[in-house]
Structure 1
Amino acid sequence: MEQHPNVVAVREALEAAGARTSEVVVLDDAVHTAVAAAEALGVEVGQIANSLIFDAEGEPLLVLTSGAHRVDTTKVAAGLGIAKLRRASPEFVREHTGQAIGGVAPLGHPKPVRTLVDVDLAKHDVIWAAGGVPRAVFPITYAELVRVTDGTPAEVA
């Protein structure tokens, strides 16, 4: 699993961005939810950065949100000045990220995706994000997550 193309892409993207670590941890089992990821890692659910792709009027929007809450799509849409933000279909997600729902990483996509990073994640010294497949995760700080994704800090809940 360490050599899965998506895991390799995430590792290479971390290295290219100058991240302090390009470590991608492969877990024994898939973790499709923040609760499952937190349990597998022995951390608080709020330390899990859910990578959620939305359809923002035909353009992909990645929202990295704390696993402790849900995205308020009406609030985010209003903040972006768009009429409606929709959950993306699995096909839309794969088209824009090259990854499947449940393992979407915040980087390592075929081309950059506009990204919002939940300000609630800043409460934690270490955040865990998906590593391109449902069994892979990597540790990162909030500041570094914002930097390597070229993300915009935002209140998303």
Structure 2
Amino acid sequence: MPDGADASEPLAALPDSAQRVALLLRECGHEKPVVMLPQTGKTSAEAAAGLGCSVAQIAKSILFRRRDDDAPVLVVASGVNRVDEEKVAQHVGDIARADAKFVREKTGYAIGGVCPIGHLTPPVTLIDSDLLQLDSLWAAAGHPHAVFNLSPQELIALTGAPVVDVALRA
């Protein structure tokens, strides 16, 4: 168990959005629990500090809006990477940054708690290829304090998303 994380709370003790994710993960056969961080996990650095893992192991969910049809575009990226919007656009078409209202309407989650799965409107999803270099990842579980552990292969299986290079390289 990571430093500071608490998996002993029953499902009912989780915030509603994290309960929804925990039930969805269970339905998908994912056996690892949703854990609550004592501090916020809104940023990759905050989440990593609370979990006692590297920032690279944080699978951050970044939502964009595709300009031509307003579809949500989800990029699940390594916490150390900045997303290259031009690379994303090569795969999905012209995109724009999503505001908090769009994120909440399309995903059902607040910024900082966007889970890679369980969105109200299924997004076009891409997975950062750099995540495949790691054995263990942590992703948001529907709430800024809620996370769950998974492998890169489990992330691919849960999302059905292609793995592509999305990182901004210097």
Runs of 4+ with deviation above 6 angstroms: none
Tell me the secondary structure at the aligned position of residue 30 of structure 1. coil
Is the CA contact (8 Å cut-off) linking 1:24 and 1:131 kept in structure 2?
Answer: yes
Does residue 65 (structure 1) correspond to residue 65 (structure 2)? The answer is no
Aligned counterpart for 1:51 among listed residues 61, 66, 69? 61
Equivalent residue number for residue 154 of structure 1: 164
Tell me the secondary structure at the aligned position of residue 86 of structure 1. strand
Is the CA contact (8 Å cut-off) linking 2:136 and 2:151 kept in structure 1?
Answer: yes
Structure 1's 61 and 140: CA in aligned 2 closer, same or farther, altered over 3 A? Answer: same
What does 1:1-157 align with in structure 2 at a 5 Å threshold? 2-19=13-30, 21-57=31-67, 58-80=70-92, 82=93, 84-157=94-167
Which residue identity does 1:149 align to in structure 2? T
Larger Rg: 2
Taking the aligned partners of 2:22 and 2:117, their CA distance within structure 1 comes to 9
Structure 1's 71 and 2: CA in aligned 2 closer, same or farther, altered over 3 A? Answer: farther
Instruction: Give unmatched runs, 5+ long, in structure 2.
Output: 1-11
Instruction: Give unmatched runs, 5+ long, in structure 1.
Output: none
How many residue pairs get aligned? The number is 154
- How far does residue 79 in structure 1 lie from its aligned partner after superposition? 2.5
Is the CA contact (8 Å cut-off) linking 1:2 and 1:26 kept in structure 2?
Answer: no
The structure with higher relative contact order (CA 8 Å, sep 6+) is 1
Structure 1 range deviating more: 110-119 or 30-39 = 110-119
Which residue identity does 1:74 align to in structure 2? E
TM-score by length of 1: 0.93
